Amino acid sequence: MADSAANNAIRPATRKQRWTWAVQIFVVLLLLWLLLNGLDRFLAGLLAAAAGAGLGAWLVSGQPHPWKPHRLIWFAGFFLWESFKGGVDVAWRAMHPGLKINPCFSSHCIDLPTGQPRTLMVATVSLLPGTLSADLSEDGRDLEIHALMPEAMASVERLEAWVAWLFSIES
């Protein structure tokens, strides 16, 4: 959630990218409306979703990164499983009579472009087993991670690979 506009290498989004972005927001907002309100007053929901999509496309900063919906499903699966393990892991450590933790800080250089990929990375690190994104450097490259035990750092690399795959980023 931490970085958006502060980086110097931001190019404005093209018209096509803004349209794609708008359509994606529109679909999500409309689904949310249907979920909360059902089918009555559908027209109002349509208008509200369109307004939200327009606003989102207008305000988008930098280039939105294209992502593939079927990859998002796999990513969600990976994330769910990891956060499940994270919960079980930390619960076990908290309940263990000997408190099996060895907390430490460790810095990780993020090898992802600014915008959505990096934001997603910083946001999801906190829910992996044993890692917590504690701080981000001024330029948004170095992520300071707090780990419950040094071994937990290994999963950060895997997460980064997953995020790169989701946004089809070549490395």
Partner 1 sequence: MIELLLPALVIFLLLNLAAGMVRVARGPTAADRMLSALLFGSTTVAILLILAQWMNEPALRNVALLFVMLAAIVSLAFFGMPRDDADDGEQR
Partner 2 sequence: MSTTEVLAAALLLAGGLFYLAGTVGLLRFPDVYSRLHALTKADNLGLLLVCSGLSLLAGSWRAAALLGTIWLLGLLAATVSAHLIARHARARHFNGGEQ
Which class for 128: exposed (0-12), middle (13-18), buried (19 or more C-beta within 10 A)?
buried
What count of residues does the chain have? 171
Q: Is 2 in the site for partner 1 (CB under 8 A)?
A: yes
- Strand segments (E) across the chain: 104-109, 131-136, 142-147
Among 41, 47, 135, 161, binds partner 2 (CB under 8 A): 135
Q: Does 161 bind partner 2 (CB under 8 A)?
A: no
Q: Is the Cβ–Cβ distance between 59 and 35 less than 8 Å?
A: no
In the complex, least distance from residue 16 CB atom to partner 2, rounded to whole angstroms:
28
In the bound state with partner 2, the residue whose beta carbon lies nearer, of 53 and 136, is 136
Q: Does 137 help bind partner 1 (rule: CB under 8 A)?
A: yes
How far apart (Å, rounded) are the C-alpha atoms in residues 53 and 23? 7
Dihedrals phi, psi of 102, to nearest 5 degrees: -145, 70
Binds partner 2 by CB under 8 A, chosen from 47, 55, 123, 161: 123
User: Per rule CB under 8 A, is residue 130 in the interface with partner 2?
Assistant: yes
Chosen from partner 2, partner 1, none, partner binding at 63 (C-beta under 5 to 8 Å by type): none
How far is 10 from 74, CA to CA, in rounded Å?
29
Q: Are 65 and 115 in contact (CB under 8 A)?
A: yes
Select the residue interacting with partner 2 from 49, 110, 122, 156 (CB under 8 A).
Answer: 122
Of 3 and 160, the one with the shorter C-beta distance to partner 1 is 3
Out of 11, 40, 59, 138, name the contact with partner 1 by CB under 8 A.
Answer: 138
Which residues form the interface with partner 1 (CB under 8 A)? 1-3, 5-6, 36, 135-138
